[in-house]
Amino acid sequence: MGRNWDDRTKISADFLEYGVQGHYRVAQRVALVATQAANSRLFELRNSSAHVLVIPTRIGVRWIQTAAHTAAIEDSLDLYRATGFTAVDTADVATPTASVKRTSGMTAQGSMVAQVRHVTATGVAAGMTGGTLTADTNPLAQLPAWLLAAQPTGSTVFPMEADLLQSGMGEHPLVLAQNEGFVIRNRVLLGAAAGSSVYFDISWAEVPTFD
């Protein structure tokens, strides 16, 4: 049954209804480049609303090496919860268009409140900058990779992949209030030669309340 955005009916962890506000999805590819900075931000989502909660339902990442590196190096892509998130990044960013997860027969709900940004698709060594946020001390999840000095070309190269977060898997979901969100960062400085592609698959629900 549809509800408008200010309906105060409780929403449970077991069932995020369609009609409460909206369900959205973004898929995006970005590049990691030579001298990619430690802790550089690659993807972020911020809740801009004082009336709506944002609940990520899936944060999936795939990562594939595309070029030789100066030396073999262990790296990771790290997911952090962010607070004090009063402004998204403004430099070297792109804004993806979110797909609304509903059929044409479903009534449109309130406007999307999540602000989503990713680093320029062709890559920027410093990552996204210009935002105002504080990342938690420890990550919520990590995707590790062993990046090789010699790029393999004689066989299929499979991506490293992980669902850094997936709701409905027996744990309480990540619930984001206004000025909260998440960021995905590159962990260590890459060398003078480097190259890989990262694919983000992000879904979230927007609800008036959650219990």
Cα angle 127, 130, 134 (rounded to 5 degrees) comes to: 90
Please check whether residue 8 lies inside any domain of the structure: no
Please check whether residue 13 lies inside any domain of the structure: no
pLDDT tens-digit series, residues 16-55: 665 567 889 999 999 999 999 999 999 999 999 999 999 9
Please count the structural domains in the chain: 1
pTM, full prediction: 0.88
Please check whether residue 140 lies inside any domain of the structure: yes
Which residues partner with 166 through β-bridges? 58
Please check whether residue 47 lies inside any domain of the structure: yes
What does each C-alpha distance from 181 to 80, 97, 110, 124, 158 come to in angstroms?
Answer: 9, 18, 19, 22, 30
Domain that holds residue 192: 24-103+110-207
86 pLDDT band, cuts 50/70/90, is very high
